[in-house]
Structure 1
Amino acid sequence: MRKTLYIIGLSMAVFSCTSQQNAKKKQYIPKTPSVQPKTAVKTTSEKPKPKVTTEHGVEFFTTNIANPANNDNTASYGSIVSAKPAGYKVVKTYFPAIAQNFRQRYLILHYTALPDDKSITVLTQQAVSSHYLVNNTGDNQIYQLVDENKRAYHAGVSAWRADKNLNDTSIGIEIVNTGYITDASGKKIFAPFDDAQIKKVASLVKDIVSRYQIPATNILAHSDIAPTRKQDPGPLFPWKKLYDEYQIGMWYDEAQKQGFYDLATSTDFQSKYNDPAFIFNVQTQLQKFGYGLDLSGKWDDATKKTIEAFQYHFRPENYDGIMDAETYAVLQALVLKYSLK
């Protein structure tokens, strides 16, 4: 019996050893991959950026390295304003990023409705201001009152196309002019502008719109952006002269305007004047051009004042707030020329 047990135990031991050896033989040992050196990827070297210049401890960057076709611009027309966090240093190792543009997207023209001395006092000492004041004293001076990089309080409640509160995005120019008086019939009689003063305005506007790439559609009257409240700079401000002689602002093409006028007068224009559909169409065209106007389908006060503001700018011979065939033709020509720009 003892001999039999010995033989069985020996057999089991041999079987166990054989199984372990087979397991070792079948065990998978992963191969160590050979590491091949990577080929260096050639990167195009960045175009060296112009350096930030320093004058008397103040930093400036006056070169545009961005794409102006995308309305991107890195140039700064003032000193660079930087944070100064306590315990840390702000560096300009990667300055400037090319994805930026100007805050200054609009240029708004006003008159002061005051003489020179009172204009200065009001615009510097009260809760209203503008970036520039063009005097009427016959000299070659233009007064700067607010840094172009800061908001001046000149536009107030305002709108043009999709933008509102244009103080945030505009430069304001006030022009010394006494504004208007009202005659016995209630008509507004406006004061003319001096030719030498208009030359100052033209030179100043050209400089600003060139630096900030402000389009013609964004060079506006205060009355354009706030037609229910404001009349300035009024119908005697020479918008057409600025357009013809200085390429400033918007104006319609005479041939297009005449075509729209002929079409309007060939139909019974007057008979549909009070038709709500016609009024709605007029309001839509004014809104499409840029004016902030609700579409009521009625000749309400806001619509009449908006037409009057439009006439101040583009049909100054008659600013009665009535949409006659001439005004309608001018509006159509302007919408055709500028609606997509």
Structure 2
Amino acid sequence: MSADLPVFAPRLDPLPYEVKLEARPLQQIDLVVIHCTELPDLTMARHYGERILHASGTGNSGHYYIDRDGSVHVYVRPERVAHHVRGYNPRSVGIELVNTGRYPDWLTVGSQKMEEPYTTAQIDALTMLLDHLRQELPSLRYIAGHEDLDTAHEPASDDPTVTVPRKMDPGPLFPWNAVLRATPLERLVPQSSGSL
């Protein structure tokens, strides 16, 4: 291996409740869901991930987090079902890219733009992670954005007469074309695919 090639070295940092999450066979996973944290930094994303929100003593979190510097952090190993996307958790792995998104006013009428670009280091790390997951997960076939799978709208927090998207990540600045060129995974968009 050339010394110039980046080394894929994810940092294992499991959430305190990881063992309480439902176990699953790796063969069950056929989908990767791309998210952005919609938070200012990895520290705050970790804080949100550690919050207990369910009777099982677990919270909402992705499996992998990719910081702006390209470092990859494993909060939940793939053999556990993480709570990261409505309706698709049992079959999917969630990858969170650190990005401010609409923070801190996610659901206000005036905050419905995502203006922070993803870093080259993040996209390079994502590409390596997708390659790693394809080797580790025998049934992996699809990739989707959170916004592809959760298309619900909610009343805006500052004007309940207006509805706004519940989820917009990874958003318009995510380089889908480049990512799809780098992986054989097929983009899953349920509204138009009809193949779930």
TM-score, with structure 1 as normaliser: 0.39
1:219 aligned counterpart, secondary structure? strand
Structure 2 residue corresponding to 1:132, chosen from 55, 60, 64: 64
Letter in 2 for 1:234: G
Q: Does 2:170 align with 1:233?
A: yes
Counterpart of 2:193? Answer: 289
What is the aligned partner in structure 1 of residue 161 from structure 2?
none
Question: Which structure has more helix as a fraction of its residues?
Answer: 1
Residue 168 of structure 1 and its aligned partner are, at CA, apart by 1.0
Query: Using CA pairs below 8 Å that are at least 6 residues apart, which structure has the higher relative contact order?
Result: 2
| Distance in 1 separating the partners of 2:190 and 2:65 | 30
Residues 168 and 196 from structure 1, CA distance in 2 versus in 1: closer, same or farther, beyond 3 angstroms?
A: same
Letter of the structure 2 residue corresponding to residue 172 of structure 1: G
Report if the CA contact (8 A) 1:206-1:248 is conserved. Answer: no
Residue of structure 1 equivalent to 2:55: none
- Contact 1:134–1:142 (CA under 8 A) maintained in structure 2: yes
| 1:174 alignment partner, SS class | strand
- CA deviations on 1:2-59 (whole Å, 9 max, x unpaired) are xxxxxxxxxxxxxxxxxxxxxxxxxxxxxxxxxxxxxxxxxxxxxxxxxxxxxxxxxx
- Equivalent of 1:149, from 79, 89, 106? 79
Do the aligned residues in 2 keep the contact of 1:131 with 1:171 (CA within 8 Å)? Answer: yes
Looking at structure 1, the residues matched to 109 and 191 of structure 2 have their Cα atoms a distance apart, in angstroms, of: 33
What SS does the corresponding residue of 1:148 show, helix, strand or coil? coil
Q: How much identity, in percent, do the aligned residues show?
A: 27
Q: Choose which of 129, 146, 152 in structure 2 pairs with 1:204.
A: 129
- Distance in 2, Cα, partners of 1:141 & 1:101: 24
Superposition deviation, residue 120 in structure 1: 1.5
Q: In structure 1, what residue type is equivalent to 2:119?
A: D
Report 1:98-247 matches (<5 A).
Answer: 102-114=27-39, 115-126=41-52, 127-136=59-68, 138=69, 141-156=71-86, 165-180=87-102, 188-212=113-137, 213-215=139-141, 218-228=142-152, 229-244=166-181, 246-247=182-183
Distance in 2, matches of 1:235 and 1:111, equals 11
Question: Alpha carbons of 1:105 and 1:249: their partners in 2 closer, same or farther (altered >3 Å)?
Answer: closer
- How many angstroms apart in 1 are the aligned matches of 2:31 and 2:190? 19
Question: Which protein is bigger by CA-based radius of gyration?
Answer: 1
**Mapping of residues 259-270 of structure 1, within 5 Å:** none
Query: Equivalences for 1:303-314 in 2 at 5 Å?
Result: none
CA apart distance, 1:204? 0.6
**Distance across 1 between alignment mates of 2:143 and 2:27:** 15
Tell me how far apart the structure 2 counterparts of residues 249 and 173 of structure 1 sit (CA, whole Å): 14
The count of residues paired between Structure 1 and Structure 2 equals 148
Whether the 8 Å CA contact 2:148–2:190 is kept in 1: the answer is: no
State the alpha-carbon separation in 1 of the partners of residues 77 and 46 from structure 2.
16
Is residue 242–residue 249 contact of structure 1 (8 Å, CA) maintained in 2?
no
Which structure is higher in strand share?
Answer: 2
2:27 aligned counterpart, secondary structure: coil
| Structure 1 residue ranges without an equivalent (≥5) | 1-80, 82-99, 157-164, 252-284, 291-338
